[in-house]
């Protein structure tokens, strides 16, 4: 990256520096922001931090360019009537419209008729306040967030095996020291480029890197061994690896006996996944399956990681469980330098799901239907436990119900763009249009904001303080370089004002119901999380500053956090990890004569999530200007398609169009498209809304499509 692309010029005589973290993925790379002068353009500088060690990707280097972008919203927008254009409005006018709309809907249809949809990029303080706002100010059970589309399958599998969900229960540096590292459905070279330094370290030490992915991605090209299964067959691959480890005596029998339960049933299931059968199911050769199992089973230090490629399936929880079973059978979790983990995707995907954005959770990763949890949190919030609503429905189910007879009639969106990011996105768009009231808080006019009745301009990451929790479970400090522009408010200020107008039933102590100072909110969050699975009560902002982040759980301010979990026991009632027997099953939508090709989706290096931010940044737009459809040359030849031709990808739900990109690195029976674009290039118009029965994760990663030259 050239200096010119990194940001702006600055004067060494007049400058202001602040140490903070990148606004994008869950690696949360450390960076320094510098303003040449008050109100001047902001420069991004590298910063030594344990996770990224001074490295940043192209998105990180250019992150400050959005702060002063001409698309930046600096005034509320209001739609006077259906079909009218959004127009500038005052804050008083916008908040009056929201308050009146919410009250009207709730008076007509009940409290659950107003819903909230959050985001995995919100700080811990904002995620906590949003969950509290939904349950106290609105009194609704209907809240969920886009993290349901990210980590929910791994979270559910981790909870049922270990009793706790933390993406990496060990420090990131362990990856560089692993003798064998297995990545399942992870393309970190494009999604988390600074993490690649650990893969390089691992390879330089003579380690074995195994990648499971239907594409030869930038990460797979670095692998010692690449397993290239048919989309949707990762679970069978995991069971086959366990079968081979069993057959070849590679298991850690002492560990299984001392630290786990339920292995005998899993052993019986694994017996049915002999390598030749799984080769037929997945397309992965027997020799490759055997080589992978031996590399894991003979390693002194081995790490197994799953990511979205394995998890975004209608059997994502069971797929993750297959690889957790393998890790437990080899005795990896809790062993120094070894373990199982999940690569969290969104910036605060970990913290965002711990403190109340999910439909079934209260702060501290407590279950909302647990009477003891309700009593504790209600006490912190100053309400009666029975006043708290019960669990709601998952993200897609919530979006799919909007505007229906029994569904919510109003929706407040903070930090999300479901018009682009949700599966079966055309249907979700129609449901948003059917609402009586749609409110979007954002700092640009996203595709979802374009549909809103009210748009509220919010502060950006460099304009407010707060905390984030990265993929290691390390709680970090995000620091403000400057205040928001005139006319822009923070999410905390918006929630506090709306809560005051909606007149919540009680106050918390002697202060306001909803503090606007993020430090005060974090102090309250600590109390609410105390004693929960994700206990932050021993963490303070000052301590985070002094220790380069603090790993949860941390229940005691005078004792260290927990960088490495499971060393002595698991977070289950008996302290043992639980094996869970899982069987392979077909994808929700198999190929057929009408839809003969598998579609899988993912990311590209220069774009992020729905693209609402990154598609506006010049260098990133230059690097990745448009969507594409990746096809194998053999498939392209059968279709009469040449490189660069526009193709149409059609499923039972919709279609998208984009230029063809021919490559021999994808399976001939599969096409790939990235999900960062809107309009006719929106691949989520095509993706499946089949849901995992446990996590309610949609099956983004595989569906049946027809591809033709447009």
Task: Determine what percent of the chain is predicted with pLDDT higher than 70.
Answer: 96
CATH at residue 648: 2.40.40.20
- Rounded-to-integer distance, Cα 119 and Cα 233, Å: 30
Q: Do 321 and 364 share a domain, yes or no?
A: no
Question: Strand 474-478 to strand 550-551: parallel, antiparallel, or no bridges (unpaired)?
Answer: antiparallel
513 has a pLDDT exceeding 90: no
Asked if 670 and 598 touch (Cβ cutoff 8 Å), the reply is: yes
pLDDT by residue (tens digit) across 627-657? 999 999 999 999 999 999 999 999 999 999 9
Q: Are strands 703-709 and 646-650 parallel, antiparallel or unpaired?
A: antiparallel
Q: Are residues 137 and 164 in the same domain?
A: no
- Within this chain, do residues 237 and 259 fall inside the same structural domain, yes or no? yes
Question: For the chain, what is the mean pLDDT?
Answer: 94
Domains in the chain, number: 4
Given 3-state DSSP classes, what are the helix, strand and coil percentages for the chain, each rounded to the nearest 5? 35, 20, 45
pLDDT tens across 666-699, in order? 999 999 999 999 999 999 999 999 999 999 999 9
Mean pLDDT in residue range 562-567: 97
Q: Write out the residue range of the structural domain in which residue 651 sits.
A: 597-709
Do 627 and 676 touch, CB atoms closer than 8 A?
Answer: yes
What the block records as the tokens of 197 is: 């330094």
Rounded average pLDDT over 512-519:
88
Residues 669 and 630 in one domain: yes
Report if residue 390 sits inside a domain: yes
Residue 421 shares a structural domain with residue 279: no
Stretch (H or E) spanning 671: strand 670-674
**Cα distances (Å, whole numbers) of residue 154 to 145, 227, 241, 614:** 16, 21, 19, 27
380 and 530 in contact (C-beta within 8 Å)?
Answer: no
Answer whether residue 82 is part of any domain.
Answer: no
Of the candidates 468, 326, 339, 457, the residue with the CA atom closest to the CA atom of residue 27: 468
In terms of domains, do 339 and 362 share one?
A: no
Handedness of CA 243, 249, 252, 256 (dihedral sign): positive
* Letter string b/e over residues 216-237, b meaning 16 or more CB atoms within 10 A of that residue's CB: bbbbbebbbbbbbbbbbbbbbb
Per the DSSP assignment, residues forming a β-bridge with 675 are none
| Residue 565 to residue 574: CA distance in whole angstroms | 16
**Contacts with 544 (C-beta within 8 Å, 6 or more apart), sequence order:** 467, 475, 476, 477, 550
Q: Are residues 433 and 372 in the same domain?
A: yes
Q: What is the CA radius of gyration of the chain?
A: 24
Domain identity same for 541 and 441? yes
3 state SS for 287-308: HHHHHHHHHHHCCCCEEEEECH
287 phi, psi to nearest 5 deg: -60, -35
Q: What is the mean pLDDT of residues 694-705?
A: 97
Residues 157, 279: contact at Cβ < 8 Å? Answer: no
Q: At 412, which CATH number?
A: 3.40.50.740
E strand or H helix at 526: helix 518-529
- Tell me if 426 is assigned to some domain: yes
pLDDT at 2 over 50: no
User: What is the C-alpha end-to-end distance of the chain, expressed in Å?
Assistant: 36
Question: Are 319 and 409 part of one and the same domain?
Answer: no
Domain boundary among 319, 343, 367: 343
Domain at 167, CATH number? 3.40.228.10
Question: What residue has token string 């259906």?
Answer: 82
* The token pair that represents 661 in the structure block: 């990109």
Q: Helices (H), strands (E): how many in the chain?
A: 25, 28
Confidence of residue 503 (pLDDT cuts 50, 70, 90): confident
Edge to edge, what strands does the sheet with 30-35 contain?
16-21, 30-35, 42-46
* Whether pLDDT at 509 is above 50: no
Is residue 378 within 8 A of residue 54, CB to CB? The reply is: no
Residue 84 within any structural domain of the chain:
no
The answer to whether 694 touches 156, Cβ cutoff 8 Å, is yes
**CATH for 45:** 2.20.25
**Cβ-based neighbours of 319, under 8 Å, separated by 6 or more:** 153, 234, 235, 238, 306, 310, 311, 313, 582
Is 298 in the same domain as 175?
Answer: yes
Closest CA to 477 of 527, 554, 543, 414: 543
49, 66, 83: which is the final residue of a domain?
Answer: 66
| Shared-domain flag, residues 164 and 143 | no
Residue 9: pLDDT over 60: no
User: Residue 190: inside a domain, yes or no?
Assistant: yes
**Does residue 565 belong to any structural domain of this protein?**
no
Average pLDDT score over residue span 610-630: 96
Q: Does residue 571 sit within a domain? A: no
The residue-averaged pLDDT of 420-445 equals: 97
Same domain, 233 and 190: yes
Average pLDDT, integer, range 175-201? 96
Last residue of a domain, one of 343, 364, 391: 343
Give the model confidence (pLDDT) of 297-341 as tens digits.
Answer: 999 999 999 999 999 999 999 999 999 999 999 999 999 999 999
592 in any annotated domain: no
């Amino acid at each position: 990256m050239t200096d010119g692309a990194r940001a702006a010029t600055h004067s060494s005589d007049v400058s202001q520096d602040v140490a903070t973290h990148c606004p994008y993925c869950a690696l949360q790379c450390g960076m320094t922001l510098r303003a040449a002068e008050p109100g001047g353009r902001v420069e991004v500088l590298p910063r030594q931090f344990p996770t990224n060690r001074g490295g940043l990707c192209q998105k990180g280097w250019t992150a400050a360019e959005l702060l002063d972008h001409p698309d930046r919203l600096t005034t509320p927008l209001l739609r006077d009537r259906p079909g009218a254009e959004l127009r500038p409005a005052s804050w008083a006018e916008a908040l009056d419209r929201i308050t009146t709309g919410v009250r009207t809907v709730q008076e007509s249809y009940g409290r659950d008729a107003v819903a909230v949809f959050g985001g995995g990029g919100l700080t811990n303080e904002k995620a906590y306040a949003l969950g509290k706002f939904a349950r106290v100010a609105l009194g609704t059970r209907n809240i969920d967030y886009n993290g349901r589309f990210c980590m929910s399958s791994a979270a559910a599998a981790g909870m049922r095996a270990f009793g706790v969900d933390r993406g990496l229960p060990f420090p990131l540096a362990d990856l560089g020291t692993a003798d064998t590292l297995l990545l399942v459905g992870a393309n970190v070279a494009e999604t988390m480029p600074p993490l690649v330094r650990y893969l390089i370290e691992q390879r330089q030490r003579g380690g074995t890197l195994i990648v499971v992915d239907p594409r030869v991605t930038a990460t797979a090209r670095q692998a010692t061994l690449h397993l290239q299964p048919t989309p949707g067959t990762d679970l069978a691959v995991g069971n086959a690896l366990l079968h081979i480890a069993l057959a070849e005596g590679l298991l850690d029998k002492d560990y299984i006996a001392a630290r786990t339960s339920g292995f005998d049933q899993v052993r019986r299931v694994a017996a049915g996944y002999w390598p030749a059968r799984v080769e037929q199911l997945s397309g992965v050769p027997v020799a490759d399956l055997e080589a992978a199992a031996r590399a894991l089973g003979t390693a002194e230090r081995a790490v197994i990681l799953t990511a979205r490629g394995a998890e975004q399936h209608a059997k994502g929880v069971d797929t993750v469980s297959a690889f957790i079973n393998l890790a437990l059978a080899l005795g990896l979790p809790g062993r120094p330098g070894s373990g199982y983990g999940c690569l969290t995707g969104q910036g605060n995907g970990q913290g965002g799901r711990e403190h109340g954005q999910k439909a079934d959770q209260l702060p501290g990763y407590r279950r909302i239907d647990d009477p003891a949890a309700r009593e504790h949190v209600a006490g912190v919030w100053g309400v009666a436990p029975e006043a708290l609503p019960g669990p709601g429905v998952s993200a897609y189910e919530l979006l799919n119900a909007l505007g229906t007879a029994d569904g919510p009639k109003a929706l407040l969106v903070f930090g999300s763009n479901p018009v682009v990011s949700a599966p079966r996105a055309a249907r979700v768009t129609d449901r948003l249009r059917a609402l009586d009231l749609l409110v979007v808080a954002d700092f640009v006019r996203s595709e979802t904001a374009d549909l809103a009745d009210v748009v509220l301009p919010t502060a950006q990451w460099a304009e407010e303080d707060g905390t984030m929790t990265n993929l290691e479970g390390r709680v970090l400090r995000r620091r403000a370089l400057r205040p928001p522009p005139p006319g822009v408010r923070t999410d905390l200020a918006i929630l506090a004002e709306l809560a005051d107008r909606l007149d919540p039933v009680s106050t918390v102590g002697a202060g306001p119901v909803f503090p606007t100072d993020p430090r005060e909110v974090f102090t309250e969050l600590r109390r609410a999380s105390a004693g929960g699975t994700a206990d932050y009560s021993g963490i303070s902002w000052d301590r985070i500053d002094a220790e380069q982040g603090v790993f949860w759980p941390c229940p005691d301010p005078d004792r260290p956090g927990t960088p490495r979990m499971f060393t002595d026991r698991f977070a289950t009632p008996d302290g043992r990890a639980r094996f869970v027997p899982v069987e392979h099953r077909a994808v929700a939508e198999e190929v057929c004569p009408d839809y003969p090709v598998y579609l899988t989706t993912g990311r590209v290096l220069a774009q992020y999530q729905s693209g609402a931010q990154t598609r506006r940044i010049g260098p990133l737009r230059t690097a990745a200007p448009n969507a594409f459809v990746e096809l194998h040359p053999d498939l392209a030849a059968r279709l009469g398609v040449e490189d660069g031709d526009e193709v149409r990808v059609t499923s039972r739900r919709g279609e998208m169009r984009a230029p063809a990109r021919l490559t021999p690195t994808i399976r001939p029976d599969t096409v790939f498209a990235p999900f960062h674009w809107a309009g006719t290039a929106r691949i989520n118009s095509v993706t499946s809304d089949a849901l995992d029965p446990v996590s309610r994760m949609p099956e983004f990663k595989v569906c049946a499509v027809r591809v033709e030259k447009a």
